[in-house]
C-alpha cells in the first residue's frame, strides 16, 4: 500500500470532491468512528464452543470447510479476536454465545451457567475496551436433538431451556453492568419440522409461554436489552419454523423488547434493508445479524454488496444509529477465520462510511420535488466517488492497515500461530 503521504494527498483530493457535493468528510469520519459493530465470537471456531470436542450439531445451521487453525480454547479465541480487532478501525463489541462458558473443566449444565463462568471474557473485554453482547445456545445439545427446545411438548425439556434463557439474561445483565454498556442478549431457537406439520399452533403457543417465563423478571434496560430472532427455515426445518418472523415481530412489539433481523433469514428476494424503517415504526430498538445468504446457506462472510450498502444507508438516512445494534453473524470454515472477521467487519464499516458520505439532503430534495431523474443520476454518480481514499485515510488515522495491507498481517499470524494448531 502507498505511504502515509500519498494516502493524505489522495484523501485531500477526495475531500474536495465530496465538498463539492456539500458533504463534510471530516464529519463523516467522526460519525463512523462512533459506530460499534458487535463481532461474533463463533466465526473463530466454526460455532463449536468449549463444552465438548464434538462440533456444531443440529440447530439447522452448518459450518462447512476444513481450513486449518480454528481456535480450540478460549485463550486461542481471544488471541485470534485481538488480531482481528487490531486490523479493524474503531472501537467495537464482542458477541458471545453461552456455549463459550469457561467452567474450569467442570461440567456445568446450560441451565446452571452463571456470570462467573464468563468472568475471563468480561475481564478481557474490559481490558480491550469492548462492550459485550450475549446469546443463549439452544442447539448442539442432547436436549435439542428432538428439534424442539422452548416449544417442546416435553415439559422437562421445555423447562430446561426456559431455565437456560433465564440464566442467560442474568449473565447478560452482569456483563452490561460490569462493562457499563447494555448487553443485547439474543434468543434464537432452531425449533421446527422438516416436513409439513399438522399442528402449527401448538408449538407457537408453547414458545410464547416459554418466552413469557424467560422474560418475566424485569431487568434494568441500562444493562440488559432482550432480543428475539426469527427465521424462515433451517436445514432439517424446511417446512416449519416455530419462531418465524411474524411470530417474533408480534412478540417484540407486545413486550417492548428488541427484534433481531438476520439478513440471511428471509426469502431470497426479500431484504432486511426494507424492513428496518417498518419495524422501527413500532419498536424502540432492533438488533441486526448482518450476514449474507447464498442459496440454502444464511451465513456467508459479509461483503460490500448492494444489500449491505442498503442496510447501512437505511440506518444512516433514518437517523437510527442509536436504535439499531449492529451485530455480525456468519461462519466460514473454508478460509482463514481471522481474515473472515476482518473482511466482514471492514465491509460493514465501509458500507457505513459510504452511507455517511452521502449528500442525503440533496437526494431527498430531488425526491420530494418529484425529480426522480436527478435522484437516479446522483445515486449512480455517487458509486464512483473516491470513497476508497477516505477509507484508507480513516484506517491510517485509526492506526490500522489501509488497503489490503492487513492481509499480510493475517498471513504472518497464520504462519506463527494458527497454522501450528493441530486438530
Q: Which residues are catalytic?
A: 188, 229, 231, 262, 265, 289, 297, 299, 329
325 is a contact residue toward Zn ion (CB under 5 A): no
Q: What is the total residue count of the chain?
A: 423
- Give Cα 249 distance to the centre of its chain: 18
Q: Which does 325 bind (CB under 5 to 8 A by kind): Zn ion, ligand RNT, none?
A: none
Residues in contact with ligand RNT, counted by CB under 6 A, come to a total of 11
> Strand 292-294 relative to strand 192-193: parallel, antiparallel, unpaired?
unpaired
Q: Which does 301 bind (CB under 5 to 8 A by kind): Zn ion, ligand RNT, none?
A: none
Using CB under 5 A as the binding rule, the residues of this chain from 268 to 307 that contact Zn ion are: 289
297 is a contact residue toward ligand RNT (CB under 6 A): no
Count of C-beta atoms within a 10 Å radius of residue 289: 26
Burial string for 106-142 (b: 16+ CB within 10 Å, else e) reads eeeebbebebebbeebbebbeeeebbbbbbbbbbbbe
Shortest Cβ 350–Zn ion spacing (Å): 21
Using CB under 5 A as the binding rule, the residues of this chain from 209 to 268 that contact Zn ion are: 262
Place of cell 434494568: 220
What are the residues whose beta carbons fall under 8 Å from the beta carbon of 423, sequence distance 6 or more?
72
259 is a contact residue toward ligand RNT (CB under 6 A): no
Of positions 204, 231, 309, 350, contacts ligand RNT by CB under 6 A? 231
Q: What is the DSSP string of 37-71?
A: EEEEGGGGTTS--SS-SS---STT-------S---
Grid coordinates given for 395: 484506517
Q: What binding mask, one character per residue, do residues 7-46 give for ligand RNT by CB under 6 A, x or -? A: -----------------------------------x----
Beta carbon nearer to ligand RNT, 152 or 291: 291
Q: What binding mask, one character per residue, do residues 117-156 give for ligand RNT by CB under 6 A, x or -? A: ------------------x---------------------
Distance between CA atoms of residues 139 and 272, nearest Å: 25
What residue ranges bind ligand RNT (CB under 6 A)?
A: 42, 47, 61, 135, 188, 229, 231, 262, 289, 298, 329
What residue ranges bind Zn ion (CB under 5 A)?
A: 262, 289, 329
Amino acid at each position: 500500500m502507498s505511504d502515509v503521504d500519498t494516502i493524505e494527498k489522495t484523501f485531500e483530493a477526495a475531500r474536495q470532491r465530496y465538498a463539492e457535493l456539500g458533504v463534510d468528510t471530516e464529519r463523516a469520519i467522526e460519525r463512523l468512528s462512533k459506530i460499534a459493530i458487535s463481532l461474533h465470537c463463533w466465526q473463530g471456531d466454526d460455532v463449536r464452543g468449549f463444552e465438548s470436542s464434538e462440533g456444531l450439531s443440529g440447530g439447522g445451521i452448518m459450518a462447512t470447510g476444513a481450513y486449518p487453525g480454528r481456535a480450540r480454547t478460549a485463550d486461542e479465541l481471544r488471541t485470534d479476536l485481538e488480531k482481528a480487532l487490531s486490523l479493524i478501525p474503531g472501537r467495537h463489541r464482542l458477541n458471545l454465545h453461552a456455549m463459550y462458558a469457561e467452567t474450569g473443566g467442570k461440567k456445568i449444565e446450560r441451565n446452571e451457567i452463571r456470570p462467573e463462568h464468563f468472568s475471563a471474557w468480561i475481564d478481557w473485554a474490559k481490558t480491550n475496551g469492548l462492550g459485550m453482547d450475549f446469546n443463549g445456545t439452544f442447539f448442539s445439545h442432547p436436549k435439542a436433538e428432538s428439534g424442539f427446545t422452548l416449544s417442546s411438548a416435553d415439559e422437562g425439556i421445555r423447562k430446561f431451556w426456559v431455565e437456560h434463557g433465564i440464566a442467560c439474561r442474568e449473565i447478560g445483565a452482569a456483563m452490561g453492568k460490569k462493562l457499563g454498556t447494555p448487553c443485547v442478549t439474543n434468543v434464537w431457537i432452531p425449533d421446527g419440522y422438516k416436513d409439513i406439520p399438522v399442528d402449527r399452533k401448538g408449538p407457537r403457543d408453547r414458545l410464547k409461554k416459554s418466552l413469557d417465563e424467560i422474560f418475566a423478571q424485569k431487568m434494568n434496560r441500562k444493562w440488559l436489552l432482550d432480543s428475539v430472532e426469527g427465521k424462515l427455515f433451517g436445514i432439517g426445518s424446511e417446512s416449519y419454523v416455530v419462531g418465524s418472523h411474524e411470530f417474533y415481530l408480534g412478540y417484540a412489539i407486545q413486550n417492548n423488547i428488541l427484534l433481531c433481523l438476520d439478513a440471511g433469514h428471509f426469502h431470497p428476494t426479500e431484504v432486511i434493508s426494507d424492513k428496518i424503517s417498518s419495524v422501527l415504526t413500532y419498536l424502540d430498538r432492533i438488533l441486526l445479524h448482518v450476514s449474507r445468504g447464498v442459496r440454502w446457506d444464511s451465513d456467508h462472510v459479509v461483503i460490500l454488496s448492494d444489500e449491505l450498502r442498503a442496510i447501512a444507508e437505511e440506518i444512516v438516512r433514518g437517523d437510527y444509529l442509536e436504535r439499531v445494534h449492529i451485530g455480525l453473524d456468519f461462519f466460514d470454515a473454508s478460509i482463514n477465520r481471522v481474515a473472515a472477521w476482518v473482511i466482514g467487519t471492514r465491509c460493514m464499516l465501509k458500507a457505513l462510511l459510504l452511507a455517511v458520505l452521502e449528500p442525503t439532503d440533496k437526494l431527498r430534495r430531488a425526491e420530494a420535488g418529484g425529480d426522480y431523474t436527478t435522484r437516479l443520476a446522483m445515486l449512480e454518480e455517487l458509486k464512483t466517488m473516491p470513497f476508497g481514499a477516505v477509507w484508507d485515510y480513516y484506517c491510517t488515522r485509526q492506526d490500522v492497515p489501509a488497503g489490503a495491507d492487513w492481509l499480510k498481517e493475517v498471513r504472518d499470524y497464520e504462519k506463527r500461530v494458527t497454522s501450528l494448531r493441530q486438530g
